[in-house]
Amino acid sequence: MYEKITGENAYQVPMRIYPAVHYTMGGTWVDYNLMSTLPGLFVLGEANFSDHGANRLGASALMQGLGDGYFVLPYTIGHYFVSSKQPKPSASHAEFKKAEADIKAFTSRLLSIKGKRTPTSLHRELGKLLWEKCGMARNEAGLKEALKRIPELRAEFWKNVNVTGEGGGLNQSLEYAGRVADFMEFAELLCLDALERRESCGGHFREEFQTPDGEAQRDDQNFAYAAAWEYQGPDKAPVMHKEPLVYEEVHMSTRSYK
C-alpha cells in the first residue's frame, strides 16, 4: 500500500512519515443515552463527543461505532420509543416547511454570489490558517490572530465565492461550497475552544503550558471538564457549558511516552 502511494520501496528507502489532519476531537453533545439536545435524535459513533477527549487513537472510529451500537443504543432507543408517543411527522409541518425554505435560500444565495474565488481556494486558505495557528502546537497570540482572520475569510467567502451550475440536479461544487461554509463556522469554534483551554492535554498542545522538558502540562485543577459549546445562531458567540470529569475508581495521571 505504501509503495502504491509513494512509489518507493520501504525496504530500500526509509519510510516518509509526516503529520496530517485526521479527525477533529469531540463531536455533538449527547446524554448518557446517546441522545442529543434534540429529543429523538440519537448520535452514535464518532459523531458524538462521548468517548474521545483531548486525544484520539487510530482505529477509534470502529471502536466507538461498535461500542455505541452494541452496548448502548440497543438499551436506550427502545426506551425512548415506548416512553414517548410522537405523532407521525408530515411534510406539511411548519418546521419542515421552514427548514425547506431555509435550505432553498441557502443554496440560491451560494449560487447567486458569482464571485472570483473557487470554494477550494477559500478552503485551502482556511486550512492553512488552522494548520499554522491551531495545529499541533498553538499559543494565545496565534489563536487570537486566527480568531480575527476567520470572520474576515468568512465574509470574503460570502462575498466572493464562485459556485457554478444549478441547484436542481447533482452539483458537486454546490455541495462542496456548503461544506466550506460550515468549516468557516466550525474553524472559529475550534480556535475559541483552544484559546479558552489554558493547559496542554492530548492533541491540544499550548506552547505556554509545557513542562521544562517540553511535555504537555495539564491543569486538572481548573480544566478537568469537557467543554460543550451551545450554538446561539449565526454571528452570535456560542455559550460554553462545562461538564466536569469526575472519576470514582480511577485517578487521573499523566501518561509518559518516555
Partner 1 sequence: MNLTLKVWRQKNANTPGRFETYQARNIIPDMSFLEMLDVVNEDILARGEEPIAFDSDCREGICGMCSLVINGAPHGGHRGTASCQNHMRHYKDGDTITIEPWRAKAFPIIKDLVTNRSAFDRIIQAGGFVSVNTGGTPDGNALPVPKTDADLSMDAAACIGCGACVAVCKNASAMLFVAAKISHLNLLPQGKAEKDRRALNMVHQMDQEGFGNCTVTGSCEAVCPKEISLSFIARMNRDYGAAMLKGR
Query: Which range binds partner 1 by CB under 8 A, 55-63, 160-168, 179-187, 220-228?
Result: 160-168
Q: Would you say 4 or 258 has its CB closer to partner 1?
A: 4
Binding of residue 165 to partner 1 (CB under 8 A):
yes
Binding of residue 5 to partner 1 (CB under 8 A):
yes
d(CA 108, CA 104): 6
Supply the angle between the helices 94-113 and 172-196 in degrees, to the nearest 10: 100
List 70, 112, 233, 247, residue binding partner 1 (CB under 8 A): 70
Taking alpha carbons only, the member of 157, 197, 194, 193 closest to residue 177 is 157
Query: Which range binds partner 1 by CB under 8 A, 2-10, 82-90, 141-149, 196-204?
Result: 2-10
Binding of residue 17 to partner 1 (CB under 8 A):
no
30-38 contacts at long range (C-beta below 8 A, 24 or more positions apart): 33/72, 33/76, 33/77, 33/79, 33/80, 34/68, 34/72, 34/73, 34/76, 35/76, 35/80
Binding of residue 7 to partner 1 (CB under 8 A):
yes
d(CA 141, CA 133): 9
Give the DSSP H/E element, type plus range, for residue 229. strand 225-230
Q: Mask: binding to partner 1, 95-134, rule CB under 8 A, as x and -?
A: -----------------------x-xx-------------
List 36, 160, 173, 210, residue binding partner 1 (CB under 8 A): 173
Binding of residue 9 to partner 1 (CB under 8 A):
no
Beta bridge partners of 205: 137
- Angle among Cα 127, 147, 38 to the nearest 5 degrees reads 85
Query: Which range binds partner 1 by CB under 8 A, 50-58, 80-88, 168-176, 242-250?
Result: 168-176
List 86, 112, 172, 221, residue binding partner 1 (CB under 8 A): 172
Q: Would you say 71 or 247 has its CB closer to partner 1?
A: 71
Q: Would you say 170 or 237 has its CB closer to partner 1?
A: 170
Give the three-class secondary structure for 117. Answer: strand
Q: Would you say 118 or 160 has its CB closer to partner 1?
A: 118
State the number of binding residues for partner 1 (CB under 8 A).
17
CA distances from 257 to 108, 126, 202, 254 (A): 52, 32, 12, 10
Beta bridge partners of 241: 228
Binding of residue 247 to partner 1 (CB under 8 A):
no
Contact set with partner 1 (CB under 8 A): 1, 4-7, 70-71, 118, 120-121, 162, 164-165, 169-170, 172-173
